[in-house]
Amino acid sequence: MRIKIIGTGSFVPEKALSNAALEQMVETSDAWIRERTGIGSRRITETGTTDMAVRAARRAMEMAGLSPGELDLIVVGTSTGDCLFPGTACEVQAALGAERAACFDLSAACSGFLFSLNTASVYLEAGTYRTALVVGADTLSKTVDWSDRGTCILFGDGAGAALLERTESGAEPEAGGRKSEDAGRENVDRPAAGERESRMGPFLMRADGGRGGVLRCQAAPLRNPFIKEENAGDFGYLSMNGQEVFRFAVKTVPEALEELLAKAGVPAEDIRYFVLHQANERIIASVAKRMRQPLSKFPMNLEHYGNTSGASIPILLDELNREGRLGRGDKLALAGFGAGLTWGATYLVW
Ligand code: COA
């Protein structure tokens, strides 16, 4: 039994907010932002998380050629849904008309897609469901204090999706995502036939709630007959200790990747791409250095989108897929990190 990705999709809003535009809003500069983060622009939604999630999901469904009625499970990794309830996954289900699908959201901030992917794969592995739509979608723009130059330069909005299917080993129908197999590949040895079967896992997921205060966004305050309105406090804005988060990321991500690859029995040299959460170019470069792997194996799109939280990994995966840069049998290591603190990694053979 194998779990594989049979379709990917993504969506970013049209409206772009460049570093030059931010220079007009806070005391910052394009040069500072690029040097410290690698970010040049970010996209900002005017329609919200559900709309972006639905658009990304539709693209993944189209690629896979799967009809909504065939969907068994929808998991949306988001911490910025349009509503507290219903969950975004239920709204996506309604928009797609996927009436049979079980639906829930998963809250793990920027690790949300990765944790959702792993969670969905366990349901498939257990035989509970055969197909799953996994979406990472976030609207960080509504949590950002646009007068705080320490955070407002970092984040953007977007959504990405992956469709998973369980197949019996050896029975692998050709998927839409495979049409571009080997197209545009750089010089890598092709894996032997036996190693080319698509599969997902192992994975790992970690959390350290004790350090949660370094990246936080308070939800609506308590409001009841026992609590006076004036004691309710501020809420809704993201607060962050940037240097602590930076240190956390450059330590935990390489450790997680090393543990993952040891579990998978695959040397780092064999990994075609490390698909990392797109938070900061310097974090990604530091991980590459610690892994003693060339930066060319760490694709990036954060220059254009900034940190799109739970959406960053599936957007990047979809771009790699649509550009024909993923060939059947390519070994990928995904890694995410974010508020919680949460972090994790997933191994998959494309
Ligand atoms: N423009 C210009 N100057 C800025 C600025 C901005 N947008 N933001 C902060 N500064 C200033 C600070 O006020 C400080 O000035 P000072 O030296 O006069 O006090 C100086 O730049 C250095 O600030 P510092 O916070 O030390 O910068 P840094 O090198 O750590 O970079 C981040 C800040 C936020 C870019 C960096 O810490 C980071 O990327 N951390 C990880 C954040 C992250 O990825 N979060 C999401 C995780 S999912």
Listed residue (325, 324, 323, 350) closest to 334, CA to CA: 350
Spatial separation of the C-alpha atoms in residues 94 and 281, rounded to whole Å: 37
Spatial separation of the C-alpha atoms in residues 270 and 258, rounded to whole Å: 13
Helices (H) and strands (E) counted in the chain, each on its own, are: 9, 13
Mutate to test the pocket of ligand 1, among 238, 246, 302 (most ligand atoms within 8 A of CB): 246
User: Which is the closest atom of ligand 1 to the Cα of 150?
Assistant: 8
Strand partners, 18: 41
Span 189-215, average pLDDT: 85
Cis amide linkage into residue 202, ω under 30° from 0: yes
User: Which is the closest atom of ligand 1 to the Cα of 277?
Assistant: 48
Is residue 232 scored above 70 in pLDDT? no
Å from CA of 320 to ligand 1 middle:
30
Spatial separation of the C-alpha atoms in residues 281 and 107, rounded to whole Å: 25
Å from CA of 33 to ligand 1 middle:
9
Mutate to test the pocket of ligand 1, among 18, 243, 286 (most ligand atoms within 8 A of CB): 243
Nearest-CA residue for atom 10 of ligand 1? 150
Å from CA of 205 to ligand 1 middle:
27
Q: Which residues line ligand 1 (CB under 6 A)?
A: 28, 32-33, 36-37, 110, 149-150, 153-154, 240, 242-243, 245-246, 279-280, 307, 338
pLDDT, tens digit, 9 for 90 and up, residues 31-82 = 999 999 999 999 999 999 999 999 999 999 999 999 999 999 999 999 999 9
User: Which is the closest atom of ligand 1 to the Cα of 37?
Assistant: 35
> Hey, what's the torsion of the CAs at 232, 237, 238, 243, to 10 degrees?
-90
Count of all residues that appear for the chain in the document? 350
Span 183-196, average pLDDT: 53
pLDDT, tens digit, 9 for 90 and up, residues 155-183 = 999 999 999 999 986 555 444 443 444 44
Is residue 245 scored above 90 in pLDDT? yes
Spatial separation of the C-alpha atoms in residues 235 and 309, rounded to whole Å: 19
Instruction: Write down the mean pLDDT value for the chain.
Output: 92
Span 211-236, average pLDDT: 82
Span 109-133, average pLDDT: 97
What kind and span of H or E run contains 166? strand 157-167
- For residue 230, the model assigns a pLDDT of 64
Reported confidence tier of residue 193, pLDDT bands at 50, 70, 90 = low
Enumerate the active-site residues. 110, 277, 307
Å from CA of 348 to ligand 1 middle:
34
Reported confidence tier of residue 228, pLDDT bands at 50, 70, 90 = confident
Is residue 259 scored above 60 in pLDDT? yes
pTM equals: 0.93
- For residue 220, the model assigns a pLDDT of 84
Reported confidence tier of residue 223, pLDDT bands at 50, 70, 90 = confident
Å from CA of 130 to ligand 1 middle:
45
